[in-house]
Structure 1
Amino acid sequence: MRKTKMMLLGVLLTCASGAWAATTTDDALQKYELDGVTSDFRQFHVGDTVPPLYLTPEYNIKQWQQRNLPAPDAGTRWTYMGGSYVLITEAEGKILKIYDGEIFYHR
């Protein structure tokens, strides 16, 4: 009986810690989320389209994990504009999300 209780407690703690970690990560990322970014002497906001320069391979961030960014969804990618990380659609370059460049140092 005692062994069963200990196993159940272990499962409960594992599930709770996983849920807590996911919530903590989402909450931590929110503090880096921005409404806009200034780049090339222009202000850009979520929903705007980036200049063609940022659609080139040179601006494609492939190592998003090392920068503490969430995984891009299919058809999207991360780029770097004006000191911020910007999630854009691959086809037209529409801005979906903007994170402050300080997210790189988040631990």
Structure 2
Amino acid sequence: MYPVPDDEAERLEFLSDCGLTGSPAEREFDEIAHLAADLCDAPIALVTIITKDNQRLHGRTGVAIDSTSRDISFCAHAITSDAPFIVRDAATDPRFAHNALVIRRPVHSLLCRRADHHT
């Protein structure tokens, strides 16, 4: 099971109001992911939208998939806080060591940040 933010209903309503819950990936989000990968010298970078049940990869570089279930999403953990979410070694982190994304493809470390949706 994944953590759920205190403001989950408001967050989901905001995503829906913005038209992001069912929209396809966009080239601009891919460009942001490519820039992030270049800046961080990382093989993978993603711009994700966490919906009620899924993680949609609206921008990506280094992976071919366009979504995952929310229960294996690292970002589902990141959206519970406004602070940067840092995982130094996913293989040894008890939240992710048995995660299919870690087992199938080595995800060693990551940094996620929740976008502020409050206006």
Alignment TM class, shorter chain as reference: under 0.3
TM-score (norm. length: structure 1): 0.27
Look at both structures and tell me which one has the larger radius of gyration over its CA atoms.
1
TM-score (norm. length: structure 2): 0.26
Which of the pair is proportionally richer in strand? 1
Which of the pair is proportionally richer in helix? 1
